Each structure stands twice: as structure tokens, then as C-alpha cells.
Amino acid sequence: MCGGMQILPRPFEDFLLEDVKRDAVADFKKWDEVLLQSYGERKFIPLAMTQEEVYSRSGEN
């Protein structure tokens, strides 16, 4: 919490504050559950960008 304002969803914050587990596979499974609890179902959102915009160097046309 920062100044009374919740910055992260509670499940996300709780996960980050937990001790590290010895089982990485279980940790990743829990992480997937935390993301779902925090932000809901995954969805694909297309970006309206051209290949040139994606692969150009920043600031160059």
C-alpha cells in the first residue's frame, strides 16, 4: 500500500511478499493462479502497429 492507495491487486502483492519456495514448478503454477485472481482471464489484444514501427530503432522513421 502506498498512501492508502492499493497499487497492486492483493493476490499479486501477497505472492510477491511470500518466501521463495524450493519447488519452481509449484511456484510457476501458483504464479499463473495469482495472475488469474489479480487480472482475470487472459485475452489477446491486437496492437495496430506496422512491422516498421515494431522493428525500427526508437526515434527513427
Residue predicted with more confidence, 54 or 38: 38
Q: Is the pLDDT of residue 33 over 60?
A: yes
The pLDDT assigned to 20 comes to 84
The residue written with cell numbers 519452481 in the block is: 24
44 three-class SS: coil
Q: Which helix (H) or strand (E) holds 52?
A: helix 51-55
User: pTM higher than 0.85, yes or no?
Assistant: no
Q: What are the residue ranges spanned by the domains of the chain?
A: 10-39
Reported as a single tens digit per residue, the pLDDT across 12-22 is 999 999 988 89
The pLDDT assigned to 43 comes to 92
